[in-house]
Structure 1
Amino acid sequence: MWTELIGRLYGDAEFAAPAADEAIDRILPLGGVPDDLRELLRQTDGVRAEYGSGLVWSVQEIIEGNAEFRRNPAFAELYAPFDRLLFMADNGGGDQFAYVQARDDRPGGIVVWDHETDEREPVAVSLRDYLERRAASEGDDWYR
Structure 2
Amino acid sequence: MWIETAAEASAKVEFRAPVDATALAEAERRLGRRLPSQLTALLMETDGIVDEYGTDAVWSLDRIVEKNLLFWSPDTFPGLYMPFDPLLFFGDNSGGDQFAFVLTPERPDIFVWDHENDSRLWAARELKDYLHRSLPADGDWWR
Tell me, yes or no, whether TM beats 0.5: yes
**Contact 2:51 2:135 (8 Å CA) reproduced:** no
Pick aligned residue for 1:67 from 57, 61, 69: 69
Pick aligned residue for 2:95 from 93, 96, 109: 93
TM-score in terms of structure 2 length: 0.90
Q: Count how many residue pairs are aligned between Structure 1 and Structure 2.
A: 141
- TM-superposed CA distance for 1:39, in Å, is 0.6
SS across alignment from 1:37: helix
Identity among equivalent positions (%) equals 43
**Contact 1:14 1:47 (8 Å CA) reproduced:** yes
Matches within 5 A, 1:106-121: 106-121=106-121
How many Å separate the matches in 1 of 2:91 and 2:83? Answer: 18
TM-score in terms of structure 1 length: 0.90
Structure 1, 21-30 or 8-17: larger mean CA deviation: 21-30
Pick aligned residue for 2:55 from 53, 59, 65: 53
Give the unaligned 5+ runs of structure 2. none
The amino acid that maps onto 1:36 is Q
Match of 1:18 in 2: 18
Match of 1:124 in 2: 124
1:73–1:102 Cα change, 3 Å: closer
1:16-59 residue CA offsets vs partner (Å, 9 max, x unmatched): 00001111223323532111111100000111113111111110
Structure with greater contact order relative to length (CA < 8 Å, sep ≥ 6): 2
Match of 1:140 in 2: 139
1:49-93 residue CA offsets vs partner (Å, 9 max, x unmatched): 131111111100100111121226241321011101000000010
In the TM superposition, structure 1's runs of 4+ consecutive aligned residues that sit over 3 Å from their partners are: none
How many Å separate the matches in 2 of 1:30 and 1:107? Answer: 18
Give the unaligned 5+ runs of structure 1. none
**Contact 2:57 2:135 (8 Å CA) reproduced:** no
**Contact 1:102 1:108 (8 Å CA) reproduced:** no
